[in-house]
């Protein structure tokens, strides 16, 4: 697994449930080698203008992604998971898409952890910066 790979991983949902979803590997995080992921969804109605990126069958890199449907790359849906939670790789995204996912944005990142969680687990939550 490497940066830019599109993987299937259990992702937390807004209702607290966890479902297997596609996500892009952004980076390995020290010191536990956890993986920083950017969520991908087919729920196009959730698009945040100037924040999310659409990847569609007309894009030259769509086939390599392994996605089956037009999807949104959700820069506001970041999660850190242990490497062992990744079920497998379905494809990869282009450098263009990976750079988009990493593009600086006016946000602050907070690592949220439930009390019962072990080190190396948790969810990364992004909030708009007050500035």
Domains and CATH numbers, the chain: 5-128 (2.30.30.110)
Confidence tier at 119 by pLDDT (50, 70, 90)? very low
- % of residues, the chain, pLDDT over 90: 37
Per the listing, tokens 């242990």 go with: 82
User: Which stretches within 1-131 are classed as H helix?
Assistant: 62-65, 95-102
Per the listing, tokens 């992004």 go with: 126
pLDDT tens digits, residue range 15-33? 888 899 999 999 888 888 8
Q: Please compute, for residue 37, the number of CA atoms within 13 A of its CA located in the half-sphere on the CB side.
A: 31
Cα–Cα–Cα angle for 31, 38, 120, nearest 5°?
A: 25
Q: What is the pLDDT of residue 95?
A: 81
pTM over 0.85: no
More confident residue, 128 or 34: 34
Confidence tier at 105 by pLDDT (50, 70, 90)? very low
* Residues 128 and 107 sit within 8 Å (Cβ to Cβ): yes
**What six digits make up the tokens of 117?**
């969680």
pLDDT tens digits, residue range 43-81? 999 888 878 889 999 998 899 999 999 999 988 888 889
């Amino acid at each position: 697994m490497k940066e830019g790979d599109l993987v299937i991983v259990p992702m937390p949902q807004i209702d607290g449930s966890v479902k297997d979803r596609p996500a892009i590997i952004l980076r390995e995080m020290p010191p536990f080698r956890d993986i920083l992921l950017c969520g991908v969804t087919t729920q196009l109605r959730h698009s945040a203008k100037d924040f999310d990126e659409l990847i569609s069958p007309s894009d030259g890199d769509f086939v390599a992604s392994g996605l089956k449907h037009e999807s949104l790359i959700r820069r506001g849906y970041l999660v850190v998971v242990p490497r062992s939670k990744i079920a497998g790789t379905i494809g990869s995204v282009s450098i263009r898409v990976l750079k988009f996912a990493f593009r600086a944005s006016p946000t602050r990142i907070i690592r949220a952890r439930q009390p019962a969680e072990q080190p190396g687990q948790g969810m990364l939550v992004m909030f708009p910066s007050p500035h």
